[in-house]
C-alpha cells in the first residue's frame, strides 16, 4: 500500500506531504483544488509519461516520492530481485524527478531504473482507474483481455500453443507471399546472390584464418628482430658455457652424491634431468626456426593480399569469418529456393495448409475453454452489477467466429448488456450511460482485485454520473474492495465520503502571492461539515449537517 506521498514543485503544488492509511481513503474538495493533480503525481510513480508542463512555473524540476509497504507484494518483490534492487526492508522508496526540459529520472530504493522497469514493478503494486479506463470498456478488444485475465491461467497451455502455431502459420504465409511477388526483382536478386555466393565460395573461408594470418604477417614483418633473438638464444644453449652442458655436469655430480647418500637427492636429480631434456628440445626447435626467419617479401605480399580479401568480405557481408560462413549458407538456401521456385512454393503451400489445420484445431480447443470461463465471468459480473442498483440488468459474453484466424483466436468476443428488463442485449457503447459504465467497471474491479495481487487501487471520480441509491451501493462496493487492498478515491459523492476510513480535504491556498494546494485530514466536526457540503453544495444548513452526521454514524455502525 501507499504510505506516504511527497510532492515538490509539481503543477500548482509547492510542497506537500500526504500520509495514507489502509482501508478506504476519500479525497474531496472544490473543483480545481488539486485533487486530480495528486492523482497525476501518483501516476508519475507508476510510470505515466512525464511532461515539462508538470514542473511548477519558475522551478527547475518537480519531485515526487512515494513510500510503499510491500510486505505482501510477492510478485513485485520477485521482479525487484531480478533487477538486483535491494528489498531487505518491508517498504519501497520510489522517486521520480521531472525536469523543465521534459526529461525525467526514475529511482527505486535510490537505484536509477528505466521508465519501463518502473512500470513493470509498479503495475504489481498500484492500479489507477480513471475515466480513460472506463472508456476502454467500450472497446471490444478489452473484453477479451478481461476474459483471459479472469481465467487466471486455466487455459495458458492452449493459449501458448495457439500463439506459437499461429505465428509459424503467419511467418510461412509471409514467406510464400515474398516468393510469389518477387517476379523480375527476384531474378535480379538471384543474380546478386549468385555473385555473392561465388565470391564467398572462391575465398575458401576457414574459421580462425584471420588470427593465423595476423600472427604469420607479424612474424615476417619482424623477421630481423626474430632472427637476432633466435641466434642469441641458440648461443646460450650451445657455447662453451652452455646451460645444457652445465646441467649435465650437475646431474652427474648428483648421481655421485646419491651413490653415497641414497635417495636424498634423487628427486632433485630427476628435476635437473627433466630440465636438461627440455633445453635439448628447445635447442633443436630454435635451430629449426632459425632456418625459417628469412624475410620473404613475396610470401608477405601473398599473406597481406589474403588478409585484404578477407577484410573486404567482412565489410561487405559480416563482422567475422563465422558470420560470413553463415551468410554464405543462408544465400545458398535462398538461391536453392528461387531456382526451385515451383518446388519451393508447393512445399510452402503444404506447410501452410498443415499449420492452418493446427491453428484451427488449437483455436477450437482454446475457444472451448474460453466459453466455459466466459460463462463463469458472465455470472459473476451480473451478480456484481445487480448489486449496484442495476437489479434488472443482464449481460452476456457474445462469441462470433472470425472470417479468418487472428493472433487472439478464432473468435472475437464482446460484452453485450441489457440495463433494463425487456430491453434487448446491445453493445455497451450503444446502451450504457456514464453512470452505468462506472458501475460496470467498478463491478469488474471488485472481481479482479483479489486476483491481480496489487496492494492499492486509485479511483479518479469512478462514481461520476451516479447518485441516490446507486451511489450508496457504489460506496459499499468500494468499502468492500478496501477490505482486501488499499483504496484511494476522488469523489464528489457524500455517500462515498461518509463510508471512508480516512477523509482528506483538498483545497487551494495562497502562499507568497502564489496559489498552491493543501491537504487536511478531516475528523469529527470538520468531516461532518465537509460531507454536509457535499450533500448540499456551498450552503450548509443544520438539516444537511444532521444528515451528514447520521450518514457517517450509520456507516460506522
Angle at 65 between CA 62 and CA 68, to 5 degrees: 160
Which segments within 309-430 are labelled E, that is strand?
394-406, 409-418, 426-427
Cβ-in-10-Å burial (0-12, 13-18, 19+) of 26 comes to buried
Helical (H) or strand (E) element with 68: strand 61-69
pLDDT score, position 357: 96
pLDDT tens digit at each of 557 positions of the chain: 899 999 999 998 989 999 999 999 999 888 777 888 898 899 999 888 888 999 998 899 999 999 999 887 888 888 999 998 888 778 899 999 999 998 999 999 999 999 999 999 998 888 887 666 666 677 788 899 889 989 988 999 999 999 999 999 999 999 888 877 765 666 677 888 899 899 998 888 888 888 888 887 877 776 667 666 777 777 777 777 788 778 888 888 888 888 878 877 888 888 888 888 888 888 788 777 766 666 567 877 888 888 888 888 888 888 888 889 999 998 898 888 777 777 778 889 999 999 999 999 999 999 999 999 999 999 999 998 888 888 888 999 999 999 999 999 999 999 998 888 888 898 887 776 777 777 888 888 888 776 566 778 888 877 677 777 888 888 888 898 888 889 999 888 899 999 999 999 998 888 778 888 889 999 999 999 999 998 887 678 888 889 999 988 887 77
The answer for residues whose C-beta is within 8 angstroms of residue 15's C-beta and 6 or more apart is 7, 8, 9, 516
pLDDT score, position 453: 61
Beta strands 502-511 and 514-522, pairing class: antiparallel
Tell me, what DSSP letter sits at residue 12? T
Measured between alpha carbons, how far is 253 from 394 in angstroms, rounded to an integer? Answer: 109
Measured between alpha carbons, how far is 203 from 377 in angstroms, rounded to an integer? Answer: 65
Dig out the grid coordinates for 453 from the structure: 495481487
Helical (H) or strand (E) element with 452: helix 434-452
Cβ-in-10-Å burial (0-12, 13-18, 19+) of 263 comes to exposed
Q: Which CATH number fits domain 2-134+436-522: 3.90.79.10, 3.40.50.740, 3.50.50.60, 3.40.50.300?
A: 3.40.50.300
pLDDT score, position 184: 60
Q: By the 8 A CB rule, do 412 and 140 touch? A: yes
pTM of model > 0.75: no
What one-character-per-residue DSSP string does 462-526 give? TTTT--HHHHHHHHHHHHHHTTTSEEEEE---HHHHHH-SEEEEEEEEEETTEEEEEEEEE-HHH
pLDDT score, position 131: 60
CA 315 vs CA 4, 217, 311, 557: distances in Å: 57, 21, 6, 80
Sign of the alpha-carbon dihedral angle for 172, 173, 177, 180: positive
Dig out the grid coordinates for 374 from the structure: 466466459
Dig out the grid coordinates for 312 from the structure: 573486404
Tell me, what DSSP letter sits at residue 86? -
Q: By the 8 A CB rule, do 431 and 417 touch? A: yes
Which residues of the chain are in CATH 3.40.50.300 domains?
A: 2-134+436-522
Amino acid at each position: 500500500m501507499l504510505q506516504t506521498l511527497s510532492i515538490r514543485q509539481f503543477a500548482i503544488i509547492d510542497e506537500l506531504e500526504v500520509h495514507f492509511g489502509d482501508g478506504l481513503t476519500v479525497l474531496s474538495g472544490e473543483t480545481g483544488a488539486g485533487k486530480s493533480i495528486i492523482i497525476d503525481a501518483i501516476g508519475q510513480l507508476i510510470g505515466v509519461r512525464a511532461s515539462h508542463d508538470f514542473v511548477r512555473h519558475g522551478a527547475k524540476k518537480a519531485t515526487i516520492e512515494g513510500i510503499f509497504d510491500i510486505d505482501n507484494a510477492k510478485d513485485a518483490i520477485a521482479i525487484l530481485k531480478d533487477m538486483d534492487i535491494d528489498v531487505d526492508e518491508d517498504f519501497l522508496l520510489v522517486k521520480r524527478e521531472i525536469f523543465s526540459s521534459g526529461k525525467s529520472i526514475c529511482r527505486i530504493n535510490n537505484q536509477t531504473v528505466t521508465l519501463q522497469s518502473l512500470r513493470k514493478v509498479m503495475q504489481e503494486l498500484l492500479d489507477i482507474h480513471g475515466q480513460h479506463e472506463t472508456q476502454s470498456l467500450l472497446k471490444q478488444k478489452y473484453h477479451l483481455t478481461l476474459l483471459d485475465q479472469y481465467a487466471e491461467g486455466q487455459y495458458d497451455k492452449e493459449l501458448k500453443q495457439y500463439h506459437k502455431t499461429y505465428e509459424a502459420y503467419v511467418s510461412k504465409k509471409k514467406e510464400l507471399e515474398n516468393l510469389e511477388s518477387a517476379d523480375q526483382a527476384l531474378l535480379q536478386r538471384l543474380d546478386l546472390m549468385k555473385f555473392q555466393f561465388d565470391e564467398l565460395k572462391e575465398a575458401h573461408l576457414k574459421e580462425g584464418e584471420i588470427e593465423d594470418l595476423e600472427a604469420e604477417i607479424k612474424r615476417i614483418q619482424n623477421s630481423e628482430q626474430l632472427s637476432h633473438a633466435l641466434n642469441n638464444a641458440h648461443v646460450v644453449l650451445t657455447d662453451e658455457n652452455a646451460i645444457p652442458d652445465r646441467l649435465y655436469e650437475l646431474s652427474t655430480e648428483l648421481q655421485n652424491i646419491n651413490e653415497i647418500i641414497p635417495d636424498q637427492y634423487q628427486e632433485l636429480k630427476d628435476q635437473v634431468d627433466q630440465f636438461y631434456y627440455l633445453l635439448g628440445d628447445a635447442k633443436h626447435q630454435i635451430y629449426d626456426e632459425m632456418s625459417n626467419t628469412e624475410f620473404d617479401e613475396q610470401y608477405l605480399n601473398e599473406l597481406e593480399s589474403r588478409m585484404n580479401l578477407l577484410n573486404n568480405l567482412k565489410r561487405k557481408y559480416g563482422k567475422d569469418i563465422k558470420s560470413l560462413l553463415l551468410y554464405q549458407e543462408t544465400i545458398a538456401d535462398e538461391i536453392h529456393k528461387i531456382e526451385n521456385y515451383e518446388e519451393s512454393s508447393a512445399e510452402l503451400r503444404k506447410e501452410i495448409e498443415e499449420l492452418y489445420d493446427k491453428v484451427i484445431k488449437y483455436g477450437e480447443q482454446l475457444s472451448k475453454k474460453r466459453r466455459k470461463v466466459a460463462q463463469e465471468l458472465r455470472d459473476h459480473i451480473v451478480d456484481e452489477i445487480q448489486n449496484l442498483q442495476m437489479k434488472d440488468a443482464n449481460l452476456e459474453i457474445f462469441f462470433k467466429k472470425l472470417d479468418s484466424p487472428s493472433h487472439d483466436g478464432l473468435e472475437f468476443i464482446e460484452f453485450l448488456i441489457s440495463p433494463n428488463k425487456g430491453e434487448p442485449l446491445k453493445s455497451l457503447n450503444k446502451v450504457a450511460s456514464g453512470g452505468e459504465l462506472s458501475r460496470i467497471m467498478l463491478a469488474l474491479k471488485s472481481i479482479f482485485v483479489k486476483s491481480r495481487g496489487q496492494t492499492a487501487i486509485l479511483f479518479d471520480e469512478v462514481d461520476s454520473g451516479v447518485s441516490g441509491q446507486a451511489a450508496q451501493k457504489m460506496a459499499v462496493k468500494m468499502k468492500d474492495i478496501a477490505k482486501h487492498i488499499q483504496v484511494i478515491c476522488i469523489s464528489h459523492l457524500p455517500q462515498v465520503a461518509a463510508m471512508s476510513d480516512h477523509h482528506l480535504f483538498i483545497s487551494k491556498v495562497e502562499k507568497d502571492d502564489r496559489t498552491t494546494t493543501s491537504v487536511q485530514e478531516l475528523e469529527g466536526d470538520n468531516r461532518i461539515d465537509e460531507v454536509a457540503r457535499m450533500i448540499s453544495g456551498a450552503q450548509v444548513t443544520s438539516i444537511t449537517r444532521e444528515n451528514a452526521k447520521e450518514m457517517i454514524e450509520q456507516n460506522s455502525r
